[in-house]
Homo-oligomer: A and B are copies of this chain.
Amino acid sequence: MKKLVSIEEAISKIEDGMTIMIGGFLACGSPNKMIDALLQKGVKDLTIIGNDTGFIDRGIGKLVVSGQAKKVIVSHIGTNKETGRLMNEGKLEVVLVPQGTLAEQVRAGGAGLGGVLTPIGVGTPIAEGKDHLIIDGKTFLLEKALRADVALIFGSKVDEKGNVYYHESTRNFNPLMATAADFVIVEAEEVVKVGELDPHLIMTPGLFVKQIVKA
């Protein structure tokens, strides 16, 4: 199975209205070439799941500025003023989620679990309308699992079978998102031969990855 494809071929998988997970944390470890390709393709009405909406000119934020996102599910929007502006104008739906809850929701989606039972957010506005479970006397919120049609992740070194190594703080949400979408595309900073990566250093097994594009 040949996984390495052109950006054009990979981007052809993404259609209007899809839910897309995009890796990275304030654009560190984000698949920037794929984001640019999405801009160029002009695909719209996207629901984007990511840690944050980055900056107006970097990371996920570009897709907010371009108006291609109809909804974002993120933990933070403070570094991109356009997100707040579009939200206040009613042009963008913003769901804010505690970062650790978001990580677990994505992980649960990838792990076949129904949701997450977390104590985080109890007694705050984000608990409103959500199921509260009392387990052994402690209260937990039920936060549902998240999945996406496509996940766009960024890998520092990727072998031809799709095994991914993430360098330093680029890892963040990438390995979680790689498990939680129907179609996973990794943007590889460097593509290496099978066998070149230490099997202990591979953080995303290639079985999760459908396509590889070069950064």
The residues of A with any CB-CB pair to B shorter than 8 Å are: 104, 108, 111-119, 133, 135-136, 138, 140, 142, 144, 165, 167-168, 198, 200-201
Contact = CB atoms under 8 A, between A and B. Distances in A.
Nearest to A199: B168
Nearest to A116: B113
| Chain A, interface SS category | mixed
Contacts of A108: 117
B119 A140 contact: no
B115 A119 contact: no
A119 to B, nearest CB: 6
Contacts of A118: 112-114
A28 to B, nearest CB: 15
A201 to B, nearest CB: 6
B114 A138 contact: yes
A196 to B, nearest CB: 15
Contacts of A168: 200
Given A108-B117, A165-B200, 12 more contacts: A112-B118, A114-B119, A114-B133, A114-B140, A115-B140, A116-B117, A133-B142, A135-B142, A136-B144, A167-B200, A200-B201, A201-B201
Contacts of A116: 113, 117
A135 B119 contact: no
